[in-house]
Amino acid sequence: MAEELLPEDPEAEAEAEEEPIKQRKNGLYPGVSDELAESMRSGWADTDLHGLEPVEQAAETAARRAALSARFPGERLVIPAGNLRTRSNDTEYAFRASTEYAYLTGDQTQDGVLVLEPREAGHDATIYLLPRSNRANGEFWLDGQGELWVGRRHSLAEAEQLLGIPAKDVREVAAALAEATGPVRVVRGHDASIEAALTDKVTAEHDDELRVHLSEARAVKDAFEIRELQKAVDSTVRGFEDVVKVLDKAEATSERYIEGTFFLRARVEGNTVGYGSICAAGPHATTLHWVRNDGAVRSGELLLLDAGVETHTLYTADVTRTLPVSGRYSEIQRKIYDAVYESQEAGIAAVRPGAKYRDFHHAAQHVLAEKLVEWGLLEGPVEKVLDLGLQRRWTLHGTGHMLGLDVHDCAAARREVYADGTLEAGMCLTVEPGLYFQADDLTVPEEYRGIGVRIEDDILVTEDGNRNLSAGLPRQADEVEAWMAALKS
Ligand code: GLY
Ligand code: MN
Ligand code: MN
């Protein structure tokens, strides 16, 4: 990998603002002759794009901005995409635009900033982006963010056509915000330079109201979002099929083979994975966030695979299947699996418009508590077990969460509209009960130890009940075995 030619010296950077890059040659860019600089300035074709169609979700993002505008009349609203984060030296982590910015613009450009400027009625939106690289001053090949290094960007005119939002040069935004007067709110945590420009103008409390509003606004998905979620799930289904086909290779190597196999599907069909894939074989299945994925995969044990493809527009699936590596569940594995399946069935049945959000959790937990009492692991009655929460030693986590642009979507929503709220058509949530018997749990018979089972599906609340978006993957144990046999043959 080549290194950039620009210096890191801040004084030199400041100078760079003022002068054409080639003129900063004295000692800074050894090896750039006048002749080379001249050569790089010219001889490039005009590649401007004209008549671009708006992105598919342009109407939806406009409606979302209008809803935001109505909630905060008379206030300037600033929503940054975020910046690249250094991995080491001059290499960076893959960029992922902030959820709020992607939701309101449909754009995913690093350093982008959406500003809603208050007017007498409503707001005017402006998106601030880095324009195409300047070729006359050498920026396009001498700057680390020059297009020659990182690829072609859209011009501001192209961005306007695509997003339906007037676009300006992002290098102007900090000064414009610093100068502006009047009430302002910013979505924090994404862009320190934007927050610095607004210091003394914003308060954490007001900013939080903006973040909370945007989290709650995302609870009910529009038609575009539902299509994207289904796309994410469909790719995820194919990713699970890929994994089943290569279980023998995973046995010969490690859980990493499973992670890599799923990742390939995610990268080819979508943007990436929506979260670190949990590829937990054997007793690793009892570790809820097992993402090291460096363990052995053994015939006779279970594989708990919790993975989701994120689409190009950043919507993610979140699906778990617990599969017998050999293709057949053992008796004890099947007993535990069937209990979780029954619990999930009860949970899914409780998802409908008008139900309390917590209903599906209670329905699923009730079944698991019944099973634990039936198996003699807990002393009844079941209601007492549930009152004391004793089942939680083995059920460990909540039964689900909202799903969307974030895997744990709407996380900043107020309790009264989320956990204590009511389900509405258009909400999408996971239903994912599990039972986990740690390998060192001396309170259960030995045969249970080291077994973890979770089944997780992505459920859309519909007008008359629900739709399982991930029904393309079997859940019932016989059907799982038949599906695996068909894929392996
Ligand atoms: N994969 C994270 C979760 O299931 O919530
Ligand atoms: Mn999951
Ligand atoms: Mn989940």
Distance CA 267, CA 17 (A): 37
136 alpha-carbon distance from chain centroid: 39
| Residue 284: DSSP 8-state | G
Q: Considering the entire predicted model, what is its pTM?
A: 0.94
- Does 286 have pLDDT greater than 90? yes
Residue 20 pLDDT grade (very low, low, confident, very high; cuts 50, 70, 90): low
Q: Are 219 and 402 in contact (CB under 8 A)?
A: yes
Q: Which pLDDT does position 33 carry in this prediction?
A: 87
Residue 430 CA, ligand 1 centroid: distance in Å: 9
Distance CA 246, CA 309 (A): 18
- Does 280 have pLDDT greater than 70? yes
Q: Alpha helix (H) ranges present in 42-172? A: 58-71, 99-105, 139-142, 147-150, 156-163
Ligand 1 pocket: which of 395, 429, 432 to mutate (most atoms within 8 A of CB): 432
- Does 21 have pLDDT greater than 60? no
Q: What is the mean pLDDT of residues 99-122?
A: 97
Residue 14: count other Cβ atoms within 10 Å of its Cβ.
9
Residues with CB under 6 A from ligand 1: 275, 306, 318, 401, 407, 432, 456
Q: Are 221 and 426 in contact (CB under 8 A)?
A: yes
Name the residue with tokens 């007492």: 384
Residue 481 CA, ligand 1 centroid: distance in Å: 24
Looking at the chain, the number of H-run helices and the number of E-run strands are 18, 17
As beta bridge partners, residue 210 has none
Q: What is the pLDDT of residues 204-223, one digit of tens each?
A: 999 999 999 999 999 999 99
What token pair was written down for 95?
């960029």
Residue 289 CA, ligand 3 centroid: distance in Å: 11
Q: At what angle do helices 223-245 and 58-71 cross, to 10 degrees?
A: 120
- Does 5 have pLDDT greater than 50? no
From residue 224, how far is each of 13, 159, 246, 269, 429 by CA, in Å?
43, 20, 34, 18, 17
Distance CA 325, CA 301 (A): 6
Q: Which pLDDT does position 19 carry in this prediction?
A: 53
End-to-end CA distance of the chain: 43
Ligand 1 pocket: which of 233, 275, 304 to mutate (most atoms within 8 A of CB): 275
Please state whether the peptide bond connecting residue 445 to the residue before it is cis, i.e. omega within 30 degrees of 0: no
From residue 376, how far is each of 330, 372, 397, 444 by CA, in Å?
20, 6, 22, 9
- Does 153 have pLDDT greater than 90? yes
Q: What is the pLDDT of residues 140-149, one digit of tens each?
A: 999 888 999 9
Residue 93 DSSP SS3: coil
Distance CA 364, CA 285 (A): 20
What token pair was written down for 105?
């613009």
Nearest to 399 by CA among 440, 367, 355, 445: 367
For the chain, the structural domain boundaries read 10-41, 58-133+143-217, 223-488
Report the atom number in ligand 1 closest to the C-alpha of 275.
1
Residue 320 CA, ligand 2 centroid: distance in Å: 6
Q: What is the pLDDT of residues 436-475, one digit of tens each?
A: 999 999 999 999 999 999 999 999 999 999 999 999 999 9
Q: At what angle do helices 58-71 and 156-163 cross, to 10 degrees?
A: 90
What token pair was written down for 246?
């290569």
Q: Which CATH superfamily is domain 58-133+143-217 in?
A: Creatinase/prolidase N-terminal domain (3.40.350.10)
What is the chain's mean pLDDT, rounded?
94
Q: Are 484 and 253 in contact (CB under 8 A)?
A: no
Distance CA 360, CA 366 (A): 10
Q: Which residues contact 285 (CB under 8 A, 6 or more apart)?
A: 302, 303, 304, 322, 436, 451, 452, 453, 454
Q: Are 116 and 172 in contact (CB under 8 A)?
A: no
Q: Are 431 and 364 in contact (CB under 8 A)?
A: yes
Give the number of whichever ligand sits closest to the CA of residue 429: 3
What residue type is assigned to position 328 of the chain?
Answer: R
Residue 34 CA, ligand 2 centroid: distance in Å: 57
Q: What is the pLDDT of residues 348-403, one digit of tens each?
A: 999 999 999 999 999 999 999 999 999 999 999 999 999 999 999 999 999 999 99
Q: Which pLDDT does position 28 carry in this prediction?
A: 44
Give the number of whichever ligand sits closest to the CA of residue 289: 1
Q: Whose CA is nearest to atom 3 of ligand 1?
A: 318
- Does 24 have pLDDT greater than 60? no
Percent of the chain whose pLDDT exceeds 90: 90
Q: Which pLDDT does position 31 carry in this prediction?
A: 76
Q: What is the pLDDT of residues 117-140, one digit of tens each?
A: 999 999 999 999 999 999 988 899
Ligand 1 pocket: which of 293, 304, 318 to mutate (most atoms within 8 A of CB): 318
Q: Which pLDDT does position 25 carry in this prediction?
A: 43
Report the atom number in ligand 1 closest to the C-alpha of 397.
5
Q: What is the pLDDT of residues 35-93, one digit of tens each?
A: 998 999 999 999 999 999 999 999 999 999 999 999 999 999 999 999 999 999 889 99
Q: Alpha helix (H) ranges present in 203-330? A: 204-217, 223-245, 247-252, 255-269
**Considering the domain 223-488, what is its CATH architecture?**
Alpha-Beta Complex (3.90)
